[in-house]
Amino acid sequence: MEPESPPENEMMKGNNNPNSPPPKCHKRGQWANKREFLLAVVGEVIGLGNVWRFPYLCFKNGGGAFLVPYFFFLFAFGIPTFFLEVSLGQLTGQSGITCWRNICPLFEGIGIGGLVLMLYTVMYYIVILAWAFLYLFSTFHDVLPWASCNNTWNTEYCVDNHMDHSSKVNISQNTTSSVGEFWQRRVLGLSTGIEEMGGVRWDLAGCLLLSWIICYFCIWKGVKSAGKVVYFTATFPYVMMTALLIRGVTLPGASDGIRFYLSPDPSRLADPQVWMDAGSQILFSYAVCTGCAASLGSYNKFNNNCYKDAFALCLLNSATSLFAGFAIFSVLGFMSYELGVDIKTVAESGPGLAFIAYPRAVAMMPLPQLWAAFFFIMIILLGLDSEFVYLEALVTSVSDLYPSFFYVGHRRKLLLLLSCAVSFLVGLFMVTEGGLYVFQLFDYYACSGIPSISFAILESVCVGWAYGAENYYNNLKDMIGYRPSPYMKFCWKYIIPCVSTGMLLFTLVKFTPLRYNNTYEYPWWGYALGLFLALTSVLVAPLWILYSLAVTPGTLRQRLKVVTTPANDLLRAKLEKNVDSDTDLSSNGIGIGSLVLMLYTVMYYIVILAWAFLYLFSTFHDVLPWASCNNTWNTEYCVDNHMDHSSKVNISQNITSSVEEFWQRRVLGLSTGIEEMGGVRWDLAGCLLLSWIICYFCIWKGVKSAGKVVYFTATFPYVMMTALLIRGVTLPGAADGIRFYLSPDPSRLADLQVWMDAGSQILFSYAVCTGCAASLGSYNKFNNNCYKDAFALCLLNSATSLFAGFAIFSVLGFMSYELGVDIKTVAESGPGLAFIAYPRAVAMMPLPQLWAAFFFIMIILLGLDSEFVYLEALVTSVSDLYPSFFYVGHRRKLLLLLSCAVSFLVGLFMVTEGGLYVFQLFDYYACSGIPSISFAILESVCVGWAYGAENYYNNLKDMIGYRPSPYMKFCWKYIIPCVSTGMLLFTLVKFTPLRYNNTYEYPWWGYALGLFLALTSVLVAPLWILYSLAVTPGTLRQRLKVVTTPANDLLRAKLEKNVDSDTDLSSNGHELSALNTADKSSPSNHV
């Protein structure tokens, strides 16, 4: 657009316009890949409104008929507006304020008003998380505190949930439910009005502080950290929602609730309020008109197809809302059935659903603590990612206003810290005794529909008319490669302004002042405060328009020309280069032997996951099936866990515990020996198949998928472990267990077996000498500091093992206390600990189902990431042998599928009635210490002597920039060969044939099979040495010279270019660390 007059020309040349963009866009972050963007948006748009607002609106406004106006607003308003905001952020590479400044400076006020709206949202929305955390912590009681009236906060008018139906008819109208009193008197301590703010509820304040701390660390590194966190926070709520739905539909009365939820009432479509509710739900649910979507889109690559993303994300949002309705109303139907009342009387929306109606329903279920915990975990995660994504967008918007200041050093982190601190202080007013009244003011005025609808009108006018929809379409074509449907352009120019104006007028006409609970009227200054909160965002945009015109010189026409002229650098011309990851091939002899060892490990290790899945599914019973002897598989010699101590002294020696019979007879169906393999245990086979399916999809795209999955699988076990430790140390006898765990006995150091056990634990726990670590390292950047990584990961591994010991022995100490026996008699290792000792201890705790589920989820995740990392290394090793074949098309995926299928078929032998005997052969022979120790000797000889430790040190200096400590070189040349040889000799001298349970002896062919499994990996390396010398021509000296000469291209000369401080490489240093931790952090990698 050319200037039309000299004054105008001078103004534009001189850049005197105060609204003009900064001359240079400073470096800012970028999503590591498209999945992070999609999940971040999912976290933003799929929040509490999907669970507690949409289902209620649906049943209130005609059930299935409500979907007609809902889908009308979805396609006429929701998707076009969402696409507009995301595409604008992506197009300009700027966040919620500066993107509007770039496209049309006159409308920069939209971004500033959205920033104010985001700030208010961030301040009040997190209070819901504080309530949810307090409820979650309250579930860890023998009886849910809101399920009865036997608490200190209850009044004489309290009526609990379990009152029989007939007794309800004559109750005074002053009665309140136990869950209502828990909410109002225990959680809120609610005063009579905003005039009586009262004191801070310090338990709520603590939960609020916890929420802010979590939010801060979720995004303290910007999109680099937020993009990883959303892999869990945006997906795990679906797991919880599905679990709650499955539980809900199996309850009596669920079908009535679902029928009530969706039964259509077409007559309701004649009510304008129904259409208004549909439009407002789209507006709130899609989180548009706040600048958040634009901020998230600004971190995209320039040519990302945000058009397709917008449709996918919006439809996913609506599908989630519909899905959540089934989960909610199935449970509300159950509650109405139990209470014998109409479902209309129990259905609520907003906090009333989350903190009164649903907890009341859960309290009537079997295992109420478990389902309550599931529900509030879902609520917390749904709210958490919405909160921290809003907070990230807020900080990004401010940082983009002053990039030269905030994108230097740690200033952006300090801005984030300041935002959290100020918002926390404001939030303290909402956790006082009158805090709910303040919360309602924010919800009803500051973050209501009026500001958002106003911004929707201005956005469509800005893009559709001021900048020009046709111009914007041309920009979109440059960005995504084609022009979107003309329907979008039509929406931006006509439909959105008309629909939004209609919604705004309807809202203003129907507006009524806020009344809490439809009874309490605020004082005049309360309404004034609410109006102030609303106007501070709404009026920013028109005031900015006036200010821009006022400070711009020239005639009115010239001023309009200047303030509507877009920035010259509106389009980001990003050169985004992805460097193909080169790989280093391993040496053949040791590598192939390690490959065989990995294959055996992959085949048998996953069977442990099948056992753990079966135990996990068994926790979903009213009584843990291994806690009693009242089951079909129990024998007459069974003794349950709850037998009193004195009665144990005269019992026959043939007795078995209920947990042992569950393990041997229910899970394994154990035969008398390997000679009697019996049939396949099909429930175990199903769990084995499930484990393989999960593993396949965790790594089906190689490290691109595995590197993301480990963000959850490698970290969440620590959450479970910490929960189990906290539970353990609060049990009687825990101190004795921990004391037994760590009490020193120096005399044991004289026993050589102690030293051997220590060495073998290091060997197994660090998963070395299998080729797995080399495969993971091959995906690193060439100059990654693997020296520092090695120390950090090994120390983390050992610290985890020590930490796990506290969690385990605190519980074993409790069990020895309960049974009145010495802790030595209950302490076991391997499967004995995981599937007998610990389940037995858990069965004696309060809430045994919950802690059992926590324990087996931890076991599954610890085993799962070890399994799929081994599998990834296995497939990588084979693919690197024939790269020209496997790295073409989908051949690598087919190789992975073949590996999984073959391993599953072999694993079927281990889930037969004699399968445990086969499993023990793999564990004792194929994956024992002898192969690994042999490879350790050969590796150190290869690097320390054949290639030369000094040469390798020079290579390391070229790679990481400095020479590691000389101690490493000394270890490779002398210490490792000597120590490994000593361990190998000790193992061979002390070797005894395998006996199951120290009693059962295998037949000769069983031992032969075990020996074959061991030798197929051990002998590969020496046989390869002989083969290499045999096929190489020349004298022996010449042959040795040839076969010990390294490749010319030993060092990778990788050109690794990073754009905007990140690349689209499938792995980076953080992901390698996560993978290595996943592979090695479990307390015992081998059984």
Residues making up the annotated binding site for Na(+) are 43, 50, 285, 317, 382, 385-386
279/273 Cα distance (integer angstroms): 10
How many Cβ atoms from other residues are within 10 Å of residue 575's Cβ? 7
CB 293 within 8 A of CB 86: yes
Q: What backbone phi and psi angles, to 5 degrees, belong to 177?
A: -75, 160
CB 349 within 8 A of CB 53: yes
132 Cβ partners below 8 Å, 6+ apart? 354, 376, 379, 380, 383
Burial 460-476 (b: 16+ CB within 10 A, else e): bbbbbebbbbeebbebb
Structure token digits, residue 957: 């200096």
Kindly give the residue spans of alpha helices, DSSP state H, lying in 521-638.
524-538, 540-551, 556-563, 588-618
735/731 Cα distance (integer angstroms): 9
Burial of 479 (C-beta count, 10 Å sphere; 0-12/13-18/19+): buried
Which residues are bridge partners to 158 per DSSP? Answer: 176
Which residues are bridge partners to 200 per DSSP? Answer: 432
1072/1077 Cα distance (integer angstroms): 8
Measuring CA to CA, which residue among 482, 480, 488 is closest to residue 305? 480
H/E stretch holding 1076: helix 1069-1080
Instruction: Give ∠ CA 183-185-188 in degrees, rounded to 5.
Output: 65
Helix axis angle for 368-401 and 108-138, nearest 10°, is 160
How many Cβ atoms from other residues are within 10 Å of residue 653's Cβ? 5
DSSP 785-799: -HHHHHHHHHHHHHH
Structure token digits, residue 142: 């023998």
CB 450 within 8 A of CB 537: no
Quickly tell me which residue has 């010189």 as its tokens: 553
341/346 Cα distance (integer angstroms): 8
Contacts 24+ apart (CB under 8 A), 638-647: 641/840, 641/843, 641/844, 642/844, 645/819, 645/820
**Dihedral sign (CA 193, 199, 202, 205):** positive
729/739 Cα distance (integer angstroms): 12
Phi-psi category of 1054—alpha, beta or left, where left has phi over 0 and alpha has psi -120 to 50? Answer: beta
Which residues are bridge partners to 1000 per DSSP? Answer: 996
CB 919 within 8 A of CB 1010: no
Quickly tell me which residue has 């005031």 as its tokens: 543
Tell me the residue length of the chain. 1087
Using alpha carbons, list the distances in angstroms from residue 73 to 68, 80, 493.
9, 10, 16
Q: Which residues are annotated as a binding site?
A: 43, 50, 285, 317, 382, 385-386
Structure token digits, residue 679: 């049939």
576/219 Cα distance (integer angstroms): 24
CB 413 within 8 A of CB 407: no
1022/1034 Cα distance (integer angstroms): 20
610/903 Cα distance (integer angstroms): 13
Structure token digits, residue 173: 């109208």
Q: Give the pairing type, strands 515-516 and 520-521.
A: antiparallel
